[in-house]
Amino acid sequence: MSFSSLKNITPASFYFASVISLVFANVLKDTSLSFYYILLILGLAFFFVGMLKRSRTKK
């Protein structure tokens, strides 16, 4: 599986995906606890990927 297309995505896109994921996690918290944790972890992962991508492009 090739992840070369991820190199072209801006850090702001990862931050936006993180916010969307965290909002959906908060909305689904009462209905499905398993989706809450999945979306919470996914949102945190998108946030840290965006941070790593930003720190690598600032050089």
Residue ranges covered by each domain of the chain? 10-54
Angle between helices 11-27 and 33-57 (to 10 degrees): 160
What are the tens digits of pLDDT across the range 37-52?
Answer: 999 999 999 999 999 9
Nearest Cα neighbor of 17 from 54, 52, 53, 42 is 42
Flag whether pLDDT at 1 surpasses 90.
no
Nearest Cα neighbor of 6 from 58, 52, 59, 37 is 52
pTM of the predicted protein model:
0.81
